[in-house]
Amino acid sequence: MIIIISEFKMMRRNTIIFTRISLVILLIISAQLTNAQQKPFRFGFKLAPAISWMSPDSKHYESAGSDFTFAWGFTSDFTLMEHYYVTTGFNVSYFKGHMNYAHSIENNYIAYNGQMDRTYNLRYIEVPIALKMKTNELVKDYKFYGLIGVNTGFNIRSKANDHFSGESILDTYTYSEEKIDIKDETTLLKASLLVGVGTEYVIDESVSLVLGINFNNGFTNILKGNNTSYPDIKATAVPYYFELNLGVIF
């Protein structure tokens, strides 16, 4: 009985301490938001034309250049304190990339070894999370910002356009095919380091236009499987893209 009463008193004391600490934290945050005279939350929309490419990290794989693509979505800023925000959102990203790699196929029971030229058309639902640092109006009606964080994407569509050229001991063989489903050859998730800079044009206290540049530096492999010509070589490629953010936030 004594032990139970003692444990009850300890739990009650810990609860009181936790409650007081929570109230202090809430008061500090409330005071900071009040002093900053800023909205605790802002919401907006964006359209982002982009230049994307893939960087392979496997032998017999080469990047074949960049492509133009775009993303669209929603964005939101949560105020931490004056000049500091957590920015996140929900994007639909249309990613493109080109690669050349060694490839083998069989046609009419004849094996051909050669090179595959593939254009990847991938679609992702992205959820970026970043810390945004914003200035006062250094120029009339203009605020400037920088951000750094991570961007996580979930693959919802994987298509490819292929052109193969190869040869056997008997002859040569080529073929082209578009809109091939390659879902089994791509990973579900991708992640990248997100950095960006930009400016906000303040129309009034409730509406701003946003213009910025973001760079997504991928750090996860988005391909699955092994090479058909060299089964001991794993297919690997990391996505990169620059995007121009055009948006409005309320």
State how far the alpha carbon of 126 is from the alpha carbons of 47, 198, 242, in Å.
14, 20, 15
CA distance 88 to 44: 11
The strand ranges marked E within the chain are: 41-56, 61-63, 67-81, 84-107, 110-139, 142-167, 172-181, 189-202, 208-218, 237-249
Residues β-bridged to residue 77: 42, 87
The band of 205, judged by pLDDT with boundaries at 50, 70 and 90, is confident
Judge if 177 and 65 occupy the same domain.
Answer: yes
For residue 139, count other CB atoms closer than 10 A to its CB: 10
The band of 2, judged by pLDDT with boundaries at 50, 70 and 90, is very low
State how far the alpha carbon of 44 is from the alpha carbons of 74, 132, 148, in Å.
6, 15, 19
Q: What CATH number does residue 234 fall under?
A: 2.40.160.20
Domain with 10, as residue range(s), is 1-37
Judge if 113 and 230 occupy the same domain.
Answer: yes
User: For the segment 72-87, what is each residue's pLDDT rounded down to a tens digit?
Assistant: 999 999 999 989 999 9
Judge if 15 and 73 occupy the same domain.
Answer: no
CA distance 218 to 152: 10
What burial class does residue 41 get, using C-beta atoms within 10 Å of its C-beta: 0-12 exposed, 13-18 middle, 19+ buried?
Answer: exposed
Judge if 126 and 196 occupy the same domain.
Answer: yes
Q: Does 17 score more than 70 pLDDT?
A: no
The band of 34, judged by pLDDT with boundaries at 50, 70 and 90, is very low
